[in-house]
Structure 1
Amino acid sequence: MGERTLGWGLRLWVTLVGLLLVAPTLIVIPMSFGAGSTFRFPPEHWSLHWYAEFFTSKQWLASLANSLQVGLLAAALATVLGTAAAFGIDRARFRARGVLRQLLMAPMILPGIVVAVAIYGVFLRWQLNGTMLGFVLAHTVLGVPFVITSVQTSLAHYDPTMEKAAACLGAGRFSTLRRIVLPLIAPGCVSGFVFAFATSFDEVVIALFLQTPDIKTLPVKMYESIVLEIDPTIAAASSLIVVLTTVLLLVPQFLRRRSHHD
């Protein structure tokens, strides 16, 4: 009886937390289809006016293009570095391996403002503030921990004896890596890439420190539209981000199910 009550209590708690997390989305998306000049829920009249404003505004489209460019480049670089780091940690046998992993995971653990101030101070000396390279490197730092976690999960189910079998058959290290290792851990690499891209695409704190009038990401533009002016276009932008992020986060789930079926 106690276990059954505890089970229902946990289910109720999970349901309440889920509703709390989803509630803003259920409000923002309907508001993005409103025809009024201010935020109103529920909308009196329905329209695609604010989506048209978003896709016809040079500033909104430029910020979207910047976010996509930074996100893709940072995710690709984080995937390469994170995969190499995950391999190194998995194959290493020195005592400080756990300490090294914690250091690499620090950007995920530390508060965002702490990471932002540190990156801003370093990039100010390197003259990377306000540059596309600076955005990519900063967001790569945030994405690497997600790639390491995803790849290490794949390596946990990886059988290293397959490499020895390939070596016995005459395969070189590069051939073994390309034909055996990478295909087996590909779901983890793709998942890490997706999470790194989603992290970069939604990031706003570091972007606020690095942004200039010429380079501004979509989250920064959304922040300014709330602070400096009340622009309902942000509802359309928020809805697009929610949809894109949701679709991206469903990709790893699809890959996991597919790998389990295979």
Structure 2
Amino acid sequence: MISLKSPRNSAQSNVSPPVKLLGSALIALTVFMLLAPLVAVIPLSFSSEKWFTYPMPGFSLRWYESLFASDQWRGAIANSFIVGTAVTIIATPLGTMAALAISRPETKGRNLLLLLFLSPMVVPVVVTALGFYLFFARFGLANSYTGLIIAHTVIAAPFVVITMLAAFSRFDFRLMRAAASLGASKMTAFRIVMMPLILPSLMASAILAFITSFDEVVIAIFIAGPDQRTIPRQMFTGMREEISPTIIAASVVVIAVVFALMATAELLRRRAAAGLKG
């Protein structure tokens, strides 16, 4: 009788219960260490007291009212969504086309292309931000939306490439050849055959691109001017000038947006994996 168990499943079945328990404990400890600061800080955004003290003297939404009543904070929120949306629109097709080229064995220099697109993930972000600033200053792109969008697109594209490479690695390209043999053009085959199968991964990569821009602060400090301040940049400025619970309220909003988008991206990733397997 032929065993249907994969090597991975066989390896997992050979793991002893104590080792599994230790692994689960380490994972739980890691998650706790990551979430503990949030659990300690988030309640302070609902405190009626201006100072960061426990126990809280009372419950209040005054800091959220201050957040959405301030012209500076409203402008920062709008800038974050404007820049993030523009970055998503540019980085998603750019990263998808690069991933498609890299995934094809006949593409010449695909390893060099992969290294080029993934290099922003390797280079320290401070070095990248300084390089962008020195380069953009020559062409008048510093302190501009255009410069900030280009810089954020560069650091967001690698996440699109990685996500779409995983999608294309599971895609059966024989479907495209079959569509071509039936008379479909490349664009028709892409729209009818490939797009429905990779759409969940495409949406997940777009979400990751938006989050990368929405949550970025170092490049925004170097490139963005007073009119292009994003939420993270405004939070950094607020911590330098005056520490206020409004900053915590803004951070809670950012955390909520990022958490919701990440959950959506994970659901799309699972749907994409299930669809491509099917």
TM range (shorter): over 0.9
Check conservation: 2:92, 2:205, Cα contact below 8 A.
yes
Task: Provide the rounded CA distance (Å) in 1 between the counterparts of 2:103 and 2:40.
Answer: 45
Task: Provide the rounded CA distance (Å) in 2 between the counterparts of 1:116 and 1:128.
Answer: 13
The match for 2:154 is 141
The match for 1:210 is 223
- Where 1:40 maps in the other structure, the secondary structure is coil
Aligned 1:177-188 pairs, distance under 5 A: 177-188=190-201
Whether 1:123 aligns to 2:149 is: no
Task: Provide the rounded CA distance (Å) in 2 between the counterparts of 1:75 and 1:26.
Answer: 30
The match for 1:235 is 248
**Cα displacement string for residues 1-34 of structure 1 (whole angstroms, at most 9, x for unaligned residues):** 9943332222222111111100111122111001
Check conservation: 1:30, 1:42, Cα contact below 8 A.
no
The match for 1:75 is 88
Task: Provide the rounded CA distance (Å) in 2 between the counterparts of 1:53 and 1:200.
Answer: 24
Which residue, out of 32, 41, 54, partners 2:67? 54
Which residue, out of 163, 166, 183, partners 1:170? 183
User: How far 1:96 sits from its partner (Å)?
Assistant: 3.4
What's the Cα RMSD here? 1.7
Whether 1:256 aligns to 2:236 is: no
Amino acid at match of 2:62: H
Whether 1:29 aligns to 2:32 is: no
Which residue, out of 12, 29, 47, partners 1:16? 29
The alpha-carbon distance between structure 1 residues 2 and 76, as it changes in their structure 2 partners (threshold 3 A), is closer
Which residue, out of 195, 207, 217, partners 2:208? 195
Which residue, out of 98, 121, 125, partners 1:85? 98
Amino acid at match of 1:34: S
Amino acid at match of 2:71: K
Task: Provide the rounded CA distance (Å) in 2 between the counterparts of 1:167 and 1:202.
Answer: 42
Task: Provide the rounded CA distance (Å) in 2 between the counterparts of 1:214 and 1:94.
Answer: 43
User: How far 1:192 sits from its partner (Å)?
Assistant: 0.9
Aligned 1:146-165 pairs, distance under 5 A: 146-165=159-178
Check conservation: 1:187, 1:256, Cα contact below 8 A.
yes
Amino acid at match of 1:73: A
Check conservation: 2:200, 2:271, Cα contact below 8 A.
no
List alignment gaps of at least 5 residues for structure 2.
1-13
Task: Provide the rounded CA distance (Å) in 1 between the counterparts of 2:144 and 2:84.
Answer: 14
The alpha-carbon distance between structure 1 residues 41 and 141, as it changes in their structure 2 partners (threshold 3 A), is farther
Misfit runs of 4+, over 4 Å: none
Task: Provide the rounded CA distance (Å) in 1 between the counterparts of 2:167 and 2:188.
Answer: 20
Tell me the matched-pair count: 262
Identity of aligned residues (%): 36
Which residue, out of 119, 130, 140, partners 1:106? 119
